Structure 1
């Protein structure tokens, strides 16, 4: 992932010299300014920031505007679905499968949304609320061709708690929630911990203080928060268990979007599913189960997982 310094590196262009913001995408917020990067290529990498990192340094251009500039954009596609998740549950695989379809714009964890939610959490009155969130998301949904008809956004794993503001901005957009057995999520984070599972790394996470060095306990509490947020908003979510991937995409999710895949498209998705979601050069293999669990995982997280499973079974 890019840090902010890398995200904001590039040749500055004065916004006043631009005739339009076509192919300019919001990447960060600084005070009351939006920072934009010019991106000519499709966002097909595993994460939004990976596409930026892959840009030739000579083609990295930045400009800064105030929020009023959002109104100058040509209307982008309405989001087809928001992808919420618990981390390490197949959400990146899902976006990579969607990216194989040329009709789909796929934005995987664009950092500007996290920046906006952080600002909204700290200053709800001055953030502009759901109206500004709506405009930022539409700015991410710019069409590069008429072939692009659908627009999917994968959010960060800690964003489920903010689902009400997404519903206010886009009341009719489906919201998917991917989750997985708690033991499997813990096993993945033991192998390589994501920033959300390291105390102090993600400002919007307020897991209770734990004994020094109890990273598994912190992971369990954060995971419990993700499950609790999903259950609090479950009437707005389509629940998807990791075990249903990848078939649920073409058997259920895409048909609901009015997309019937050709045999060639299905084959491309199946081939992509055989490789690691974050590295196309590595064949996929499941995470080894944890040698030992954590008491909090069984006491607090497992019952929440079972509640989600019961709700998913009821809704099928």
Structure 2
């Protein structure tokens, strides 16, 4: 049997870009706003990418192998067939620590980073669980060591602060002409700028429908009215 061949670029949906972000910054809301258009296939925090990146870190997979597998995953999501015209990936927040892999594969692709004030986030995350928050509670330091120095994290609060600052540091280090760095909640009024950055053209009705999502809690499937987190 012959080897399966990768799809040709012209057979794939155009990649409009990537959304990198910190925690509790409105990235889920932005993803829903962009994905509300019939034009856009929005891929949100795919576990296939998370699993690969964790394996890359924890099992020291060669970078060339990780890049090849990451490209295969992204191309599998880009296969056309549902009437969508383009695709955007919203990645899990800690993926920004490995942003260099995405830039090596797609050096000309637009990307954004959504940030939020550090102390606001620390206050919120100390009341939350899930994701990298739970890494603090792991009895064996197999994950945290890849993101923060264990010696400077003396308690959960300091760990969260260094993780938040690490997100920002990696985004700033990767900043190039394809980047758009925005803050929560300022990005809520910057939707036209975000559309232009991703080279998307929404109709007046599509923009109206997208903006409706700002009224609701983005992490619920049902329309719970939005309340700002403090």
Q: TM-score category by the smaller chain?
A: 0.7 to 0.9
Structure 1 unmatched runs, 5+: 1-15, 17-67, 289-316
Q: Pick from 143, 146, 156 the counterpart of residue 80 of structure 2.
A: 143
With structure 2 as the length reference, what TM-score do the two structures score? 0.84
User: Greater CA deviation, 170-179 or 125-134?
Assistant: 125-134
> Which residue matches 1:97?
33
Counterpart of 1:183 in 2: which secondary structure? helix
Contact in 1 for aligned 2:14/2:85 (Cα 8 Å): no
> Which residue matches 1:162?
98
1:259 deviates by 2.7
Contact in 2 for aligned 1:77/1:149 (Cα 8 Å): yes
> Which residue matches 2:24?
88
Relative to 1, partners in 2 of residues 1:200 and 1:76: Cα closer, same or farther, differing over 3 Å? farther
Q: Pick from 45, 51, 55 the counterpart of residue 119 of structure 1.
A: 55
Alignment of 1:261 onto 2:202? yes
Contact in 2 for aligned 1:77/1:143 (Cα 8 Å): yes
Counterpart of 1:232 in 2: which secondary structure? helix
**Where do 1:140-289 residues align within 5 Å?**
140-146=77-83, 148-198=84-134, 199=136, 203=143, 204-209=146-151, 210-211=153-154, 214-235=155-176, 237-249=179-191, 251-279=192-220, 280-288=222-230
Deviation sequence 1:96-147 (CA, Å, 0-9, x none): 111111110001100111111123333332762323211210101222334x
Structure 2 unmatched runs, 5+: none
1:200 deviates by 5.4
More strand by share: 1
> Which residue matches 1:71?
6
Relative to 1, partners in 2 of residues 1:70 and 1:125: Cα closer, same or farther, differing over 3 Å? farther
Q: Tell me how far apart the structure 2 counterparts of residues 78 and 138 of structure 1 sit (CA, whole Å).
A: 10
Counterpart of 2:223 in 1: which secondary structure? strand
Deviation sequence 1:229-268 (CA, Å, 0-9, x none): 122212253101112222312x212123343322221221
Please list every run of at least 4 consecutive aligned residues from structure 1 whose deviation after the TM superposition is greater than 6 angstroms.
none
Counterpart of 2:41 in 1: which secondary structure? strand
Q: Tell me how far apart the structure 2 counterparts of residues 223 and 258 of structure 1 sit (CA, whole Å).
A: 29
Deviation sequence 1:188-215 (CA, Å, 0-9, x none): 213323321231568243442433xx32
Q: Tell me how far apart the structure 2 counterparts of residues 264 and 78 of structure 1 sit (CA, whole Å).
A: 23
1:72 deviates by 6.3
Larger radius of gyration: 1
Deviation sequence 1:12-70 (CA, Å, 0-9, x none): xxxx9xxxxxxxxxxxxxxxxxxxxxxxxxxxxxxxxxxxxxxxxxxxxxxxxxxx757
Q: Tell me how far apart the structure 2 counterparts of residues 168 and 215 of structure 1 sit (CA, whole Å).
A: 33
**Where do 1:9-88 residues align within 5 Å?**
71=6, 75-88=11-24
> Which residue matches 2:67?
130
Q: Tell me how far apart the structure 2 counterparts of residues 225 and 165 of structure 1 sit (CA, whole Å).
A: 17
Aligned length in residues: 218
With structure 1 as the length reference, what TM-score do the two structures score? 0.62
